[in-house]
Structure 1
Amino acid sequence: MVKKLFGTDGIREITGHGVLRPEILPSLGLACGFYLKSDLCALKKEKQTVLLGRDTRASGPKIQEGFSKGLQNLGVHILDVGVCSSPTLAFLTRYYEADLGIMISASHNPAQYNGVKFFTHEGRKMSLMQEKAFEEFFFQQAVEWCGPKILGSQSCFVSTTPYQKHLLSQVIQKGLDIKGLKVVLDCGHGALWQEGRSLFETCGAEVVAMLGGQPSGYNINEGCGALYPENLSLEVQNQGADLGFGFDGDGDRVVVVDRRGKIWDGDQILAALRPESGGIVGTVMSNLGLELFCDDHGLSFYRTDVGDRHVFSALEERGWFLGGESSGHVIDREFLPTGDGLWGALCIADRIKKNPDLFPVFHPMPSVKCNIKLGGKIDAFSFHSNAFQDLLGVFRQRLSSKARMVVRLSGTEPLIRILLEGQDNQEITRMAKHLEEQLILLTQDKNI
């Protein structure tokens, strides 16, 4: 079995399980310290510095405490941001010239989960090679390390103000105008519960209602935010607002609700913010309608694996500036090398003020999504078995030429994710249900 820590977006577990057990967390911090002192860390300093931030989960401070012990045992200096969004931490890592940014968050997952995201000194996600090196340090050295302690300095708090100033300066530079707009925000009881309202109001919008703004430590993403925008939709209509925005727990994704209460995802946001030339980067999960839209407007479209790290790398390779995921991660490479829900929301608000009937920007191809829970006989090994893959091959052959199917393992949750798209909604709905049934039946075969 291959030992692996990282999923699609950092390390993620149910709190108190796996590497998030209290007795293991210092070893995770040690592995991070070993990584910082290795040749893979681009900044060569006598003293290494990390920036630590977290979302609003109750488990965050304890995880931070355990992780910090390992870092400090190797003499690493810690700057503590406190509660902040992931994009805020990414920017501040670069601003404070830290060697690494560490965000303690499970993003859009429920409160019982937590995790760790890592940002390089440039504010971008770790590469696959860097993650592999980190894993080797953890599994080969950190767990059994008993060397001398070289205590690093205690954590000191640093301000998030530089990020806010950067965002506001970009609003002015790009000429964004949201003055007078009536906006409803749903911050998912997460990291943006204070900053979101403050920045929208500073930019001149009127926040007429605020949902998901009372974090208890146990209610993050619970029936609210980017994953559950239904209440946001109702509130926009009740308030007669111009639009609404729903954010996830760490503020790196956003969904939009227009004045009619219609909910629009990241694909529509990308189309609304389209560049005049070049292209847009999406993922294997991006709607086929977005690809056709780009083609109609003389833009190229490129798909990557799921994960904003892959999106940013593709943007960089092609010299393009806009990319993202249908889930609501939107990357403006001129602004940050990672998804930023707040920046995406401000850009869309500017477009809405110019054109209240902006959405839909394109007509999405009919699609069906469903998930199969992993566990028991359904696991990653059965997913990669010949029988499993043969079954998927049979279903792919049945698809019409203007349809597509994506079946993949989730990198953040124990799920198999299924997506079918095509012009015939009844056909793909029927196929999705049949595929789900057959996959579940197949896992009951003990010989798989």
Structure 2
Amino acid sequence: MQYFGTDGIREKEGIFTPDFLARIARATVGLKERPKVVIGRDPRVSGERIEGVLTGTLLRFGAEVLSAGMTPTPVLAFLTRHFNADFGIMISASHNPPEYNGIKFLKTDGRKIEESTEAALERLIDNPCPLEEREGVLTRIEGNRLYIDDLCRKLQPSVAGMRILMDTANGATAEIAPQLFRELGCDVTAIYTETDGVRINENCGATHIETLAEAMRKGSYDLGFSFDGDGDRLMAAVGGRILDGDHILYVVARVLQQQGTLKDNTVVGTVMTNLGTEKSAAKHGIRLIRTKVGDKYVSDEMERNGYAAGGETSGHLIFSAYHTTGDGILAALLLAVIERKYGVLNLDDLEEYPQSHQDILTDADGIAAFDRSEAIKSYLRKVEGEIDGRIVVRKSGTEPKIRIMAEGKTKAESEAIAREIRTFILEQIKQ
């Protein structure tokens, strides 16, 4: 059975029964005898329960478990690499609502495991192999301190005195992100910093950037940052303008190009990356390569070819000189360093094609109907051939949704296209 989506195993928390969790842990040991595993979680209410079952089962079969407690995904990825662990296990549903949770597997270098490894785990979850019970070892680690020290050593940031507003989404960055910037001498105002897990991502964080925009208008700040629940995404604000992942990737890529560290003058985006970003980058001699949606596909492309910068519109940003995975805290610090060194972040030359997004919430039958419909495929080809823009229609990898993105010369045009596509697909999957 397939359990993994585009970002690990993710569902409403009720699916994570003790039996299912024990099977996941046993499968981990089935892949690697006596593995070293770093485990962490975001603050969701179900996180401690899930961590407890996974840890207990891993220890029962001889694993060495390093527990990082509540920590962001990029910190967990750093720790997996730092301790040369066989696996990192992050318990999080990222940007999803509080009632969801998930399990992400990372490999030794901090990147997400390959699809072949996911398939091997799925086989072992469904068909557990015999395992010898033996005593494991549990160690609790202070990962945030290690991460902060490593990041400051690599970047050597000079940002003292900057006025920073940050929305930590009532999530895993609530402690570490303000701590980092305050230690660097910034004047930090942090909002949505509750870590009881009840309100993670609720009307706050990177998926509700309007919350940051409103708070920015009420104060005087140099930069605003908005993280998602597990800290692997970033949205930002400067001078009254909201910056999504495309904007941030463009800004950092231009600086890396000036420094001579943007390999092959190439950045990696996805099919969702705004066409305006691609055209604007091209004017400066920067090529954009597109992958499927999912930061793991961006990461894979970067790893294969040694590219320095990649990301998604949604705010997953990877800068390989500093980290191997999407890291909202790193991206925020890079923006602060650039703002301090070069002055106001200039996006005047960045073209944008207005995008409109529509979602269709459905079920397994609706997804199956969408997959097999030749009428939908034919219709989408026809629409794309008629418009001066782009469309992307895909299944969500983390929720039972069909996602629609339309890009046009005007907002009205893109909205009309997205609505028409949504209406047509709904008619087809309900037949």
Is the contact between residue 42 and residue 70 of structure 2 (CA under 8 Å) also seen in structure 1? yes
Q: Which runs of 5+ in 2 are unaligned?
A: none
Q: Deviation digits for residues 33-79 of structure 1, max 9, x if unmatched?
A: 11223xxxxxxxxx421011000101001011122233223211211
CA distance in 2, matches of 1:140, 1:89: 29
* Alpha-carbon spacing, 1:66–1:360, altered in 2? closer, same or farther (3 Å): farther
In structure 2, the partner of 1:263 is 242
Q: State the identity as a percent.
A: 35
CA distance in 2, matches of 1:426, 1:341: 32
Alignment of 1:428-439 (within 5 A): 428-439=414-425
CA distance in 1, matches of 2:231, 2:309: 18
Higher helix share: 2
Aligned to 2:267, the other structure's residue is in SS state strand
Alignment of 1:335-414 (within 5 A): 335-353=322-340, 354-359=342-347, 362-375=350-363, 377-400=365-388, 403-414=389-400
**Matching residue within 251, 254, 261 for 1:272:** 251
Q: Deviation digits for residues 278-321 of structure 1, max 9, x if unmatched?
A: 21100011100111112101111100111121111211222220
Aligned to 1:26, the other structure's residue is in SS state helix
Is 1:29 aligned to residue 17 of structure 2? no
In structure 1, the partner of 2:140 is 157
In structure 2, the partner of 1:242 is 222
In structure 2, the partner of 1:187 is 168
Is 1:9 aligned to residue 7 of structure 2? yes
Superposed displacement of residue 393, structure 1: 2.5
CA distance in 2, matches of 1:119, 1:319: 19
CA distance in 2, matches of 1:254, 1:167: 17
CA distance in 1, matches of 2:372, 2:338: 44
* Alpha-carbon spacing, 1:348–1:141, altered in 2? closer, same or farther (3 Å): same
Is the contact between residue 279 and residue 294 of structure 1 (CA under 8 Å) also seen in structure 2? no
Q: Which runs of 5+ in 1 are unaligned?
A: 38-46
Superposed displacement of residue 119, structure 1: 1.0
Could you tell me which amino acid in structure 2 is paired with residue 195 of structure 1?
I
CA distance in 2, matches of 1:107, 1:308: 13
CA distance in 1, matches of 2:345, 2:123: 52
* Alpha-carbon spacing, 1:396–1:77, altered in 2? closer, same or farther (3 Å): same
Could you tell me which amino acid in structure 2 is paired with residue 88 of structure 1?
V
What is the aligned residue count?
421
* Alpha-carbon spacing, 1:361–1:318, altered in 2? closer, same or farther (3 Å): farther
In structure 1, the partner of 2:46 is 59
**Matching residue within 398, 401, 408 for 1:422:** 408
Superposed displacement of residue 25, structure 1: 1.0
Is 1:219 aligned to residue 217 of structure 2? no
Superposed displacement of residue 424, structure 1: 3.8
Is 1:136 aligned to residue 123 of structure 2? yes
Q: Deviation digits for residues 398-417 of structure 1, max 9, x if unmatched?
A: 223xx111101111111111
CA distance in 2, matches of 1:166, 1:376: 44
Is the contact between residue 173 and residue 231 of structure 2 (CA under 8 Å) also seen in structure 1? yes
Superposed displacement of residue 355, structure 1: 2.0
Q: Deviation digits for residues 109-157 of structure 1, max 9, x if unmatched?
A: 1110000111111111101111111111112226xx6x5522323x320
Q: Deviation digits for residues 328-356 of structure 1, max 9, x if unmatched?
A: 11101011110110010011112223322
Is the contact between residue 258 and residue 359 of structure 1 (CA under 8 Å) also seen in structure 2? no
CA distance in 2, matches of 1:420, 1:195: 37
CA distance in 1, matches of 2:171, 2:286: 35
Superposed displacement of residue 363, structure 1: 2.4
Is 1:78 aligned to residue 65 of structure 2? yes
Aligned to 1:405, the other structure's residue is in SS state strand
Which deviates more, 320-329 or 350-359? 350-359
Which deviates more, 243-252 or 177-186? 177-186
CA distance in 2, matches of 1:439, 1:62: 40
Alignment of 1:88-107 (within 5 A): 88-107=75-94
CA distance in 2, matches of 1:406, 1:307: 14
Superposed displacement of residue 357, structure 1: 4.7
Aligned to 1:16, the other structure's residue is in SS state helix
**Matching residue within 182, 205, 221 for 2:186:** 205
C-alpha RMSD over aligned residues: 1.6
In structure 1, the partner of 2:56 is 69
Relative to the length of structure 2, the TM-score reads: 0.94
Superposed displacement of residue 376, structure 1: 6.6
Could you tell me which amino acid in structure 2 is paired with residue 230 of structure 1?
E
CA distance in 2, matches of 1:166, 1:229: 29
Could you tell me which amino acid in structure 1 is paired with residue 142 of structure 2?
S
Superposed displacement of residue 246, structure 1: 0.2
CA distance in 2, matches of 1:292, 1:359: 13
Could you tell me which amino acid in structure 1 is paired with residue 315 of structure 2?
G
